């Protein structure tokens, strides 16, 4: 990363953890903008948020299915897998890449959203709204599945606080931190959404946080599509020395990007911090006293990143 | 649950028609299978996935192969939990120095006949990470590669095209 220009830096940042490529690219881009004293145009900021919420939807849907699958409940994996695939396809139509990789650049976004893309996203939201309630009911109403998730892998709220765990890990154990609210960043300051917080701390609570976040993301996508500002989607950043930092809320928690630019505008130093740093150590605490067969459930309900952590 | 299962019985299947095997992959495989097997594999491939330092993007798309749209098991392709059970090693990532030995040992643990499929830009030559001090620079720096599926990450359709090409050649190579 050191010595690279911002374009290459953004590509590398987007490849730290593939499932959070939008969040990383967005944190990196905003850090670069802070370092150069510039700002992405309003439309670009809205499109970034749209991508971020699509990424959150796809990952949460995949996780909800995969957690249930670790309790051998394959129907949920199949059903959630369908919705996840639909989300990736909508992202592909709207932004030209299933995972939306390299779509966010310092200064803005790589391409504008056209009406066909906007329709694809609306169609996706409609499909999830139609299908998801039955799946929530399925999760909530299957006693044999609940038997595996309720009370399993409980994370003490005091530990979640002590480690500063973000994302569903923190929020299922009473820690309501969400970088979209605090410190907050555009365009989320203008959008209406709540951050679900539960106290249970078990696998079940982490599933429910995801379910509630899926619902919130659907609302956010609606608002973003309706209120999409007009105008350019990218500005050029000046080549200047500077230092900048930004947080972006990925599906698994807050991603931090810090960088220092040299006088030639190239990256002198950069640090990218994955939310998993504060979650992996807690997984060890959570599995204590649980049977071995429940390890996959605990692990998947955390879903920490290997690559994001092991830089 | 019963209601959902019952409703699904009457919905048309989501599974899509398979793509045709990738031509470029077929050409690449021509070389590989000269030294390949005369043993019958049948139309079946057991794949062991090895993450040799990928960003997990490739893994997401490999996982997607099992969803209702691609349903890779209908081709007799399945993922196994040990290289001892595998015909194919599917390797992702630029092969970090920390993973090089593990990859070599995994390859040695895989019984013959075996194929190595390198998935994604990183696995080809290190990709964006090729200049890094921490990577060996691609799968073929460590084990012989039979097929490369490009993309960052390759879409499930691209993965399927490559795997079907492998199956077709394995059939012809008997």
Tens digits of per-residue pLDDT, A194-208? 999 999 999 999 999
Of the candidates A239, A231, A229, A234, the one whose C-alpha atom is nearest the C-alpha of residue A263 is A239
Rounded CA gap, B15 and B31, in Å? 32
Residue A189 DSSP label: G
Please give the pLDDT value at position B36. 45
Give residue-wise pLDDT tens across range B110-162.
999 899 999 999 999 999 999 899 999 899 999 999 999 999 999 999 999 99
pLDDT for B171 equals 65
Cβ neighbours of A305 in B, within 8 Å:
56
CA distance A15 to chain B (A): 6
Does the beta-carbon distance from B57 to A88 stay under 8 Å?
Answer: no
CA distance A84 to chain B (A): 9
B58 vs A contacts (CB less than 8 Å): 18
CA-CA distance, B157 to B83, in Å (whole number)? 25
Count CA atoms closer than 13 A to A84's CA, side-chain side: 26
Nearest C-alpha neighbor of A186 from the set A16, A67, A29 = A29
Confidence of residue B26 (pLDDT cuts 50, 70, 90): low
Contacts of A307 in chain B (CB under 8 A): 53-56
Closest chain B residue to A143 measured between Cα atoms? B1
Report the DSSP beta bridge partners of residue A109: A104
- Nearest Cβ partner for B1 among A81, A98, A142: A142
Cβ <8 Å between A18 and B59: yes
DSSP state for residue B96 in the 8-state scheme: B
Give me the residues of chain A with pLDDT under 50, please: none
Do B56 and A134 make contact, defined as CB atoms within 8 angstroms?
Answer: no
- Backbone dihedral region for residue A155 (phi beyond 0: left; psi -120 to 50: alpha; all else: beta): beta
Residue B38: per-residue pLDDT: 38
Q: What is the dihedral of CA B61, B67, B72, B73, to 10 degrees?
A: 140
- Max avg pLDDT among B13-27, B90-104, B124-138: B90-104
Chain B residues at the A interface, defined by Cβ less than 8 Å, are 1, 4-5, 14, 51, 53-61, 63-64, 66-69, 128-129, 152-153, 155
Q: How far is A23 from chain B (nearest CA, A)?
A: 14
* ipTM of the complex model: 0.94
Distance (Å) from the C-alpha of residue B37 to the closest C-alpha of chain A?
Answer: 35
Residue B174 confidence (pLDDT): 44
Query: In this structure, what is the dihedral angle of CA atoms A54, A59, A65, A71, given to the nearest 10 degrees?
Result: -160
Closest by Cβ to B55, choosing from A18, A78, A84 = A18
Closest Cα in chain A, distance from residue B57 (Å): 4
- Cβ atoms of B165 and B22 within 8 Å: the answer is yes
At B15, the pLDDT band (50, 70, 90 cuts) reads: confident
Identify the pLDDT of residue B35.
42
Substitution target from B1, B153, B159 for chain A, most A beta carbons within 10 A = B1
pTM of the predicted structure, to 2 decimals: 0.93
Note whether A159 contacts B: Cβ–Cβ < 8 A.
no
Which residues does chain A have within 8 Å of residue B68's beta carbon, measured at their own beta carbons? 78, 81-82, 85
On whether any CB of chain B is under 8 Å from the CB of A142, the answer is yes
On chain B, the residues whose CB falls within 8 A of the CB of A138 are 1, 4
SS3 content of chain B, % helix, strand, coil (to 5): 45, 15, 40
pLDDT given for residue A3 in this prediction: 92
* CA distance, residue A95 to nearest chain B CA (Å): 15
Which pLDDT value is given to residue B2? 81
Nearest to residue A106, comparing CAs of A185, A46, A41, A16? A41
A15 and B68 within 8 Å at the Cβ level: the answer is: no
Predicted local confidence at residue A85, as pLDDT: 97
* DSSP character string of B115-154: EEEEESHHHHH-GGGTT-TTB-SSGGGTS--SEEE-SSSP
**How close, in Å, is residue A94 to chain B by CA atoms?**
16
pLDDT attached to residue B76: 86
Tell me the pLDDT band of B173, cut-offs 50, 70 and 90.
low
* Structure confidence at residue B33 as a pLDDT band (50, 70, 90): very low
pLDDT band at B4 (very low <50, low <70, confident <90, very high): confident
Residue pointed to by tokens 């220092």: A260
Mean pLDDT of chain B: 87
Query: What per-residue confidence (pLDDT) applies to A178?
Result: 97
Contacts of A201 (CB under 8 A, 6+ apart): A154, A155, A156, A157, A160, A172, A173, A174
Chain B residue with minimum CA distance to A86: B69
Residues of A in contact with B152 (CB under 8 A): 101
The dihedral through the CA atoms of B86, B88, B91, B95 has a sign that is positive
Q: A12, B68: Cβ pair inside 8 Å?
A: no
pLDDT band at B34 (very low <50, low <70, confident <90, very high): very low
Residues of chain B neighbouring A101 (CB-CB closer than 8 A): 57, 152
């Amino acid at each position: 990363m050191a010595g690279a220009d911002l374009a290459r830096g953004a590509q590398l940042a987007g490849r730290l953890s593939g499932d959070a490529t939008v969040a990383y690219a967005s944190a990196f881009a905003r850090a670069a903008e802070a370092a150069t004293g510039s700002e992405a145009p309003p439309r670009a900021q809205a499109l970034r948020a749209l991508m971020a919420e699509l990424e959150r939807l796809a990952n949460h849907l995949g996780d909800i299915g995969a957690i249930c699958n670790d309790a051998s409940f394959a129907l949920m994996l199949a059903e959630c897998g369908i919705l996840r695939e639909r989300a990736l396809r909508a992202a592909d139509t709207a932004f030209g890449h299933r995972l939306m990789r390299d779509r966010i650049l310092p200064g803005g976004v790589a391409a504008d959203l056209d009406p066909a893309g906007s329709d694809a996203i609306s169609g996706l939201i409609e499909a999830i709204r139609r299908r998801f309630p039955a799946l929530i009911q399925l999760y909530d109403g299957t006693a044999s599945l609940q038997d595996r998730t309720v009370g399993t892998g409980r994370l003490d709220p005091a530990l979640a606080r002590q480690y500063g765990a973000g994302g569903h890990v923190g929020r299922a154990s009473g820690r309501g931190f969400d970088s979209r609210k605090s410190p907050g960043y555009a365009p989320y300051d203008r959008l209406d959404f709540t951050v679900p917080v539960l106290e249970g701390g078990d696998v079940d609570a982490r599933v429910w946080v995801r379910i509630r976040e899926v619902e919130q993301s659907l609302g956010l996508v609606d608002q973003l599509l309706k209120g999409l500002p007009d105008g350019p989607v990218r500005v050029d950043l000046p080549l200047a020395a500077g230092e900048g930092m930004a947080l972006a809320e990925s599906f698994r928690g807050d991603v931090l990007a810090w960088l220092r630019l040299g006088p030639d505008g190239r990256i002198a130093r950069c640090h990218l911090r994955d939310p998993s740093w504060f979650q992996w150590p807690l997984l060890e605490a959570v599995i204590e006293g649980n049977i071995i067969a429940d390890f996959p459930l605990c692990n998947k309900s955390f879903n920490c990143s290997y690559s994001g952590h092991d830089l | 649950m019963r209601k959902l299962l019952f409703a699904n019985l009457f919905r048309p299947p989501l599974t899509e028609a398979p793509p045709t095997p990738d031509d470029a992959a077929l050409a690449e495989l021509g070389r590989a299978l000269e030294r390949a097997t005369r043993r019958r594999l049948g139309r079946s491939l057991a794949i062991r996935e090895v993450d040799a330092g990928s960003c997990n993007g490739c893994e997401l798309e490999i996982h997607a192969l099992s969803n209702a749209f691609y349903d890779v098991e209908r081709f007799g392709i399945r993922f196994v939990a040990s290289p001892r059970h595998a015909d194919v090693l599917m390797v992702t990532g630029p092969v970090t120095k920390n993973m090089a030995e593990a990859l070599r040992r995994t390859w040695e643990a895989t019984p013959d006949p075996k194929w190595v499929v390198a998935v994604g830009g990183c696995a080809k030559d290190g990709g964006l990470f090729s200049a890094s001090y921490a990577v060996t620079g691609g799968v073929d720096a460590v084990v012989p590669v039979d097929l490369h599926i490009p993309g960052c990450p390759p879409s499930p359709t691209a993965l399927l095209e490559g795997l079907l090409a492998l199956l077709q050649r394995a059939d012809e190579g008997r």
